Amino acid sequence: MSSHQVTFAAAQLGPNQRSDSRESVLSRMLSLLEQAVSQSPPAQVVVFPELAFTTFFPRHFIPDDEELQSYFEAESPDSQVDQSPNVKPFFDHVKKLGVDVYVGYAEAWNGGEKTEYYNSAVYYSGRSGQVLAKYRKVHLPGVFEPFPEPGATQQLEKRYFKNGNSFEAFRVPGLVGDALKATPDAPVQTDGRGDPIFGMLICNDRRWPEGWRAYGLQGAEVVLCGYNTTAYAPQLLGSDLYESKPLSREEAEKEVLYHNQLSLTANSYMNACFSVNVAKAGEEDGHPLIAGTCIVDPKGYVVAEARTKGDEIVAATLDLRKCRAGKTKTFDLGRHRRLDAYGLLLERAGVEEPPLLT
């Protein structure tokens, strides 16, 4: 295999019910890992969904603090997620297999006076047995106060988590042969000849071009993104207001899948990067989640996608040199972007319309 090729496995998970034990979820995740490393060629990087170890608990209003805390992994400056007792067996197994993983989880950060809670993902290197990078979800969707409608699918991420605030790309050692390394005379711009550059997003982040562009500006070649996306939630997604009749469940799911793929293909294309996008899917706690796990190339084409709504490996070997055309032509950012025209983008978060006409 060429020295620029990397084999990825997107490990789509079927539903994790609220009543499922941690052990049963871990055992399904370990089977997916085993499957990913025993295929040919074996996966070098396995990507799991957002909040992979538990049910998507922000869909519930949970007044019982003990239950709420049970979904989080405790971390501190001395102890990262791979040491959290609930999930240590997962990371130990990853280390034994010598594979790399991206995995999403709920983080309880005990680093200051007060515990802070985040919706996080880590990139863990099984070869070196350590967390190489951690990402905290920046765009938290939903609401703080629960929807009053009985049976509504809640989305309480704004209640349970604090926002992350940075998009830091990172290089991953050991995936490709003859990568340029730092030496006093190494070039500053390596044009894809160093160790691969990855970025991480979580779920709702994929709908916002800002994170993708932040990674594009750091030369990211692969963006990894896990998600839990509700297939039917009229309070949250789209609008029936101007439709002649409300979307049926089937129509709504089709539209959510369309917007999922639109966000992934468009942003991969506009930043000339691959993306590996992984769902937790199926009927979870009586609420449907879309599948749609897919791997996208820098031209915006889907190169592999899930066929089921359950546990499934979707794999592809990606030639990272395919990012070069976009990065040096249409989306050569340094040559074509116009900072002088973009001032508003950092001055304003929400919409301010031009004044009314007289």
Footprint of ligand CDV (CB under 6 A): 50, 141-142, 155, 203-204, 207, 227-230, 236-237
Separation of alpha carbons 194 and 187, rounded Å = 10
Residue 30: helix, strand or coil by DSSP?
helix
116 membership: H or E segment, kind and range: strand 116-125
Separation of alpha carbons 159 and 30, rounded Å = 31
Nearer to ligand CDV (CB atom), residue 37 or residue 201: 201
Q: What burial class does residue 41 get, using C-beta atoms within 10 Å of its C-beta: 0-12 exposed, 13-18 middle, 19+ buried?
A: exposed
Q: Is 134 an annotated catalytic residue?
A: no
Nearer to ligand CDV (CB atom), residue 44 or residue 229: 229
Smallest gap, in angstroms, from Cβ of residue 155 to ligand CDV? 5
Catalytic residue among 137, 280, 309, 322: 137
Nearer to ligand CDV (CB atom), residue 146 or residue 173: 146
Any idea what DSSP says for residue 355?
P
DSSP β-ladder status, 45-47 and 5-12: parallel
Q: Closest Cα partner for 46 from 81, 90, 109?
A: 90
Q: Taking a C-beta distance cutoff of 8 angstroms, is the pair 318, 6 a contact?
A: yes
Smallest gap, in angstroms, from Cβ of residue 319 to ligand CDV? 29
Smallest gap, in angstroms, from Cβ of residue 137 to ligand CDV? 7
Smallest gap, in angstroms, from Cβ of residue 50 to ligand CDV? 6
Nearer to ligand CDV (CB atom), residue 43 or residue 51: 51
Nearer to ligand CDV (CB atom), residue 7 or residue 228: 228
Nearer to ligand CDV (CB atom), residue 42 or residue 141: 141
- Can you state the angle between helices 249-270 and 209-216, rounded to 10 degrees? 20
DSSP string, 243-262: SSSPPPHHHHHHHHHHHHHH
Catalytic residue among 75, 107, 134, 203: 203
65 membership: H or E segment, kind and range: helix 65-70
Separation of alpha carbons 10 and 312, rounded Å = 8
Smallest gap, in angstroms, from Cβ of residue 47 to ligand CDV? 16
Smallest gap, in angstroms, from Cβ of residue 152 to ligand CDV? 12
Q: Is 145 an annotated catalytic residue?
A: no
The full length of the chain comes to: 358
Smallest gap, in angstroms, from Cβ of residue 203 to ligand CDV? 3
Nearer to ligand CDV (CB atom), residue 72 or residue 227: 227
Q: Taking a C-beta distance cutoff of 8 angstroms, is the pair 276, 282 a contact?
A: no
Token reading at 241: 């207001």
Separation of alpha carbons 280 and 52, rounded Å = 7
Q: Is 181 an annotated catalytic residue?
A: no
Separation of alpha carbons 108 and 113, rounded Å = 13
Any idea what DSSP says for residue 264?
H
Q: How many CB atoms lie within 10 A of CB 309?
A: 20
**Distance between the two ends of the chain, CA-based, in angstroms?**
67
Positions annotated as catalytic residues are: 50, 137, 203
